[in-house]
Amino acid sequence: MLWWLDVLTTLISAATVGFAVVGLLAPARLVPPGTSPAPAAPAGGAPLPVGTRYYAAMYAVRAIPLGVATALAPSLAGPGWATIALFAVGAAAQLGDLLIGAAHRQWGQVAGPALATLVFAAAAFTSA
């Protein structure tokens, strides 16, 4: 894999893990501006809709190990089918995130996954 692509996959993987951790610890911080995390917020703060923490945990349990694996794969596994498969799975996961963001018209949640999809797909193609 090209050295700069290795750097990009590592940075994107770290960002993915970071967002997953923030979502797990403080899901309300990832609510897009101009939206409310719940219809009625008491004076003490905005409550999260039922299930928000559950789905944040579901996302984190996928994103953290996948992010760590895609960050370390080029260094630990080197080129080969395992690395290609891992980056293909990473690209598919990011494409899914992109489609979810687009379906909800959250364009800020489309740009990052679009870049990550392209970078992981390029990494898969160049890891042979």
Place of tokens 């364009």: 107
- Distance separating alpha carbons of residues 48 and 69, to the nearest angstrom: 31
Look at residues 1, 2, 49, 58 and name the one whose alpha carbon lies nearest to residue 28.
Answer: 49
pLDDT tens digits, 68-106: 999 998 888 888 999 999 999 999 999 999 999 999 888
The boundaries of the domain holding residue 19 are 3-126
Condensed to tens digits (0 to 9), the pLDDT of residues 104-126 reads: 888 888 999 999 999 999 999 99
The 10s digit of each residue's pLDDT in 16-51 is 999 999 989 988 787 766 665 555 454 455 566 667
Cβ neighbours for 5, distance < 8 A, ≥ 6 positions apart = 119, 122, 123, 126
Q: What is the pLDDT of residue 42?
A: 47
Rounded to an integer, the average pLDDT of 39-64 is 73
Q: Between these two residues, 112 and 1, which has the higher pLDDT value?
A: 112
Of 66 and 104, the one with more pLDDT: 66
User: What's the predicted TM-score (pTM) here?
Assistant: 0.83
- On whether the CB atoms of residues 96 and 63 are closer than 8 A, the answer is no
- Number of structural domains found in the chain: 1
Provide the 8-state DSSP code for 47. Answer: P
pLDDT, residue 79, reads 87
